């Protein structure tokens, strides 16, 4: 997810902000006028060919196994709910920014993968645990780097990640021999997602606890 309020100063290759508003970028004041489609449309919008190709490769790499494992309907639920919560978290935290991109959904897939690994962690041998620990450490460092910077929407990434964990826990809740912490994480991430929805609606439509303050 790219934050266009920051990116527009870069010039070449970045669409004009007016054009992005027209085609459906996430933007708090527009959502206040009941343009709810802006909470999903940014998944299909990107600021340039590099941004688009990176997200395509990232999501294909993360998502193909998910569709095979959970089926198309559950995969689409995971994908678009992560995008929705990620975009709502962006509106909650930075309502005056324009944001586009599919990385909210992509980080939902990251959260899903991490949840799956941790759910079977107690069943893994030491060698496999060490391998996953190294993979998670390297990948986590990469994700932090990708989420850091003026042009990156870290709130959208975080919201998508939490939703990905929540949906994956829900899809796996009937599996036998789940770890003792599973129920707490499932209920906790679901509560966070519901809280993001409620707080975003309150801020956008009621201006509480802080008005959006967009020019």
**Of 82, 97, 103, 147, which residue is the catalytic one?**
103
Element (H, E) at 142: helix 126-146
Q: How many Å apart are CA 135 and CA 123, to the nearest integer?
A: 18
pLDDT per residue over 120-172, tens digit each?
998 899 999 999 899 888 887 877 776 665 567 889 999 999 999 999 999 99
70 CA to centre of own chain: 19
User: What confidence tier does 55 reach under pLDDT thresholds 50, 70, 90?
Assistant: confident
Q: Is the pLDDT of residue 74 over 70?
A: yes
Q: State residue 22 phi and psi, 5-degree precision.
A: -60, -40
Q: Is the pLDDT of residue 5 over 60?
A: no
Full-model pTM: 0.88
Neighbours of 143 (CB within 10 A): 15
How large is the average pLDDT for residues 59-79? 94
Residue 3 exposure: Cα atoms within 13 Å on the Cβ side: 23
Higher model confidence: residue 24 or residue 6? Answer: 24
Is 97 marked active-site?
no
Mean pLDDT, all residues of the chain: 87
How large is the average pLDDT for residues 177-193? 96
Residues 195, 93 contacting (CB under 8 angstroms): no
How large is the average pLDDT for residues 82-102? 94
What are the CA-CA distances from residue 31 to residues 67, 207, 209 (Å)? 31, 13, 17
Q: How many Å apart are CA 163 and CA 150, to the nearest integer?
A: 24
13: left (phi > 0), else alpha (psi -120 to 50), else beta?
A: left
Distance, first Cα to last Cα, the chain = 23
**Of 51, 82, 147, 157, which residue is the catalytic one?**
157
Q: What is the pLDDT of residue 193?
A: 98
Is 6 marked active-site?
no
Beta pairing partners, 26: 99
Q: What is the pLDDT of residue 212?
A: 81
Q: Is the pLDDT of residue 22 over 90?
A: no
């Amino acid at each position: 997810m790219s934050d266009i309020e920051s990116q527009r100063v870069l010039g070449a290759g970045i669409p004009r902000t007016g054009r992005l508003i027209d085609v459906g970028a996430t933007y708090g004041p527009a959502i206040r006028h009941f343009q709810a489609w802006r909470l999903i449309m940014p998944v299909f919008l990107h600021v340039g060919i590099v941004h688009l190709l990176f997200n395509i490769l990232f999501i294909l790499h993360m998502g193909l196994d998910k569709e095979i494992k959970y089926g198309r309907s559950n995969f689409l639920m995971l994908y678009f709910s992560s995008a929705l919560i990620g975009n709502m978290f962006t509106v909650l935290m930075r309502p005056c920014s324009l944001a586009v991109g599919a990385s909210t959904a992509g980080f939902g897939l990251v959260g899903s993968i991490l949840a799956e690994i941790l759910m079977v962690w107690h069943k893994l041998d030491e060698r496999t645990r060490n391998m996953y620990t190294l993979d998670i450490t390297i990948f986590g460092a990469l994700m932090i780097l990708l989420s850091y910077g003026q042009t990156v929407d870290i709130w959208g990434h975080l919201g998508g990640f939490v939703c990905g964990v929540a949906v994956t826990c829900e899809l796996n809740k009937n599996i036998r021999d789940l770890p003792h912490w599973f129920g707490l994480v499932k209920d906790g991430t679901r509560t966070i997602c519901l809280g993001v929805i409620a707080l975003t609606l309150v801020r956008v439509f009621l201006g509480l606890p802080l008005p959006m303050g967009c020019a």
